[in-house]
Chain A
Amino acid sequence: MKRVRPVLLVLGLLAVGLSGCATTELVRVKPWQRATLADYTMRPDRDPLNTAMAEHIYFSRETATGGRGVGGSGCGCN
């Protein structure tokens, strides 16, 4: 197998590191593309029974309750 030259390897890594692949701009879901994420079905607490059961497991395992969830619809607004 042919040995990869160190210079090429460094340049290759530089190309990836300094290029668009390393920026969040190319992978981030844009604010105007979040309709599906904001849908009700994407909410983890949409099913009250499931939430109650998860809460029970959490309480049984860690003797802690409450403090779950934050405001917002999941759309990433604000």
Chain B
Amino acid sequence: MSPLKSVQFLLLALGALSAAAFARADVKVGDTFPALAPAQLVNLGGGDVPALSSKVTLVDFWASWCAPCKASFPAMAKLYGEYSGRGLQIVAVSIDEKPAAAVAFWKKMAPPFIALHDREQKLVQEVGVPTMPTSYLVDQSGRVRYVHAGFHGDLADLRKEIESLLAEKS
């Protein structure tokens, strides 16, 4: 290979690798949340996969092996009890690789909100969650308005954002 061709090859390789490194973009505040239907999610309760439009939605990613996720469920159930009457929808998405583990967790926790299973981890990869659990507060137009990463026993900031978004809606 001539020196010129070597340089061209190296530059091309550099470009391709750099593009691959920066191609993945995580969903952040202001982005449109990906549609749930194409990810082939399974509703653990047996119903349909809900649409994100027309309702303020909290999409929460959880796993049966994640201890903070387990701790967050009662807190989210409380949030749901307080705000579902005002139009809040909570969609909890399991990213478990083992369907039986997701189902067992769901049965044990018996949440009042919708629980889905991202069995092929398509949605979670598209969203690129930074930690487990992570919740995305999505407005009626499908845009992410707030991201709550992790669970430390307090959802005060999330509650504030929900209040604000529901007030905006009405």
**A contact set with B: CB distance below 8 Å:** 5, 7-8, 11-12, 14-15, 18-21, 23, 25-26, 30-32, 34-35, 38-39, 72-73, 75-78
Contact = CB atoms under 8 A, between A and B. Distances in A.
6 contacts: A8-B6, A11-B11, A19-B17, A20-B17, A75-B65, A78-B68
Contact of A75 (B10, B61, B132): B132
A18 to B, nearest CB: 6
Nearest to B131: A31
Interface string B114-135: 0000000100110001111110
Given A7-B3, A20-B18, A75-B65, 17 more contacts: A15-B13, A18-B17, A18-B18, A19-B14, A19-B17, A19-B18, A19-B20, A19-B21, A26-B21, A32-B95, A32-B132, A34-B65, A35-B63, A35-B65, A38-B67, A39-B65, A78-B132
B168 to A, nearest CB: 30
Contacts, number: 86
Interface of B: 3, 6-7, 10-11, 13-14, 17-18, 20-21, 24, 61, 63, 65-69, 95-98, 121, 124-125, 129-134, 150-152
Given A5-B3, A23-B21, A77 B132 contact: yes
Interface centre among B61, B131, B151 (most CB of A within 10 A): B131
A44 B97 CA distance: 24
B18 A77 contact: no
A32 B13 contact: no
